[in-house]
Amino acid sequence: MKSHAFPLSGATLWKGMVRKALGSVRAARPITPHPALFRQAASFNDCLLLEDSFESAVPGIEAPVTIFLTKDGALGAGFWLAPLPHETLTEEALSARMDRIVDALAAASLKGRVSGLTFQLIFDVEPDASVFPSQLAAGGATFATHIARVRFEALSAYARAPKNGMRLVRRRLLLTVRLGGEHPLKGSSTVSRDELDHASLVFGRRVRDLGEVLSKLHAGLLAASFTPRAATREEMLSFLRDTFQSLAQRHAEPVRHGLSSNASRPLGDQALYHALNVCPFGIGVGVDSWQVATLLEMPDTTTVGMGIRLMSLTETHRVVVNHKCFIPSSTVRCDFTTLLSSHRTNRLFAACAEPST
């Protein structure tokens, strides 16, 4: 028996063509992005904890010391240290200096009995561009000015890029102190008079505790033949700006880079004036990037002097050594010996966190 095929009606044919067309459109349409991709990312300013500062008298230090308050309630301060002229020191003399600075940290922390106290030694190296042509232009068209310009060009060439295996760099050494604790108001927008009085008493006691630590630390650094100078509010803000703006960005906007701090805004929120590219392996700073390498514990193969190669690096880098409570001198001497030396684009950031005992 023959079977007869019945032709499709016009309406059925039209619906089939529409379904086929819609299927083709769906196949060609890109995957719908997840809504989370459109959410506003958390601000990097949340990682910059400095909130405000005030000056406080510290026994044994003539000028008032700038005390910093962080967003998590900690108090802190910083001391600039001049690198040691290690070329003229013997190994025994340099080791003795290191023993004295470790003793200063131990004395300031009462060998670990001061709760929540940590130290951080920051060794920063970057090309030295402290001499600018504008300073030479004011001298007029004299032979002495011409010689000065030629000398500047020769020196600035070493700052811009390595030359003959050498580079003109600036080395800075900052020792910071942090005393943990709760924020005075604990994030409350409204407090009673009694709560405010109690918070003031607790805060004042913490400021005195930090003052005693700073006094002992200052005396210990002087005994170790250092001349510590307390870091000011503007210097700390400038240090943060130097960290998160490249040299090219700083030179392109010198006025913006040197703006004074605004007392009505958190200090850490004033550090950034360019966007950062944060990714799992580093932080993009202009054309540069901070690559992070962390050493949580010192391996058994650690030896005195192994960090001396840091002195030969011609790229911008920073080494941060964290100390909590009391650390035996044998644990830190190999780091300090390199960091306190006085020798004068991509960035390398190395963080070394020492175990407490």
Summarised one tens digit per residue, pLDDT across range 219-249 is 999 988 888 999 999 999 999 998 888 878 8
Query: Does 268 map to a domain?
Result: yes
Query: Does 239 map to a domain?
Result: yes
Query: Does 235 map to a domain?
Result: yes
Helix (H) or strand (E) holding 221: helix 193-223
Beta bridge partner(s), residue 347: 290, 316
Query: Does 267 map to a domain?
Result: yes
**What percentage of the chain carries pLDDT values higher than 90?**
18
pLDDT tier at 253 (50, 70, 90 boundaries)? confident
pLDDT tier at 58 (50, 70, 90 boundaries)? very high
Summarised one tens digit per residue, pLDDT across range 274-298 is 888 877 777 888 777 777 776 666 6
Query: Does 189 map to a domain?
Result: yes
Least-confidence region, from 72-76, 95-99, 171-175: 95-99
Q: From CA 104, how far away is CA 121, in angstroms rounded?
A: 13
283 contacts 290 by C-beta, under 8 angstroms: yes
What does the pLDDT read at residue 337? 43
Query: Does 143 map to a domain?
Result: no
- If you compute the radius of gyration of the chain from its CA atoms, what whole number of angstroms results? 29
Least-confidence region, from 3-7, 36-40, 136-140, 192-196: 3-7
Provide the number of structural domains found in the chain: 1
Query: Does 22 map to a domain?
Result: no
Query: Among candidates 66, 178, 179, 200, which has minimal Cα distance to 122?
Result: 178
Query: Does 135 map to a domain?
Result: no
What does the pLDDT read at residue 247? 79
Segments forming the whole domain that contains residue 72: 42-128+168-353
What does the pLDDT read at residue 298? 66
Output the DSSP codes for 227-291: --EEPPHHHHHHHHHHHHS-HHHHHH-HHHHTPPPPTTS-SGGGS-SS--EEETTEEEETTEEEE
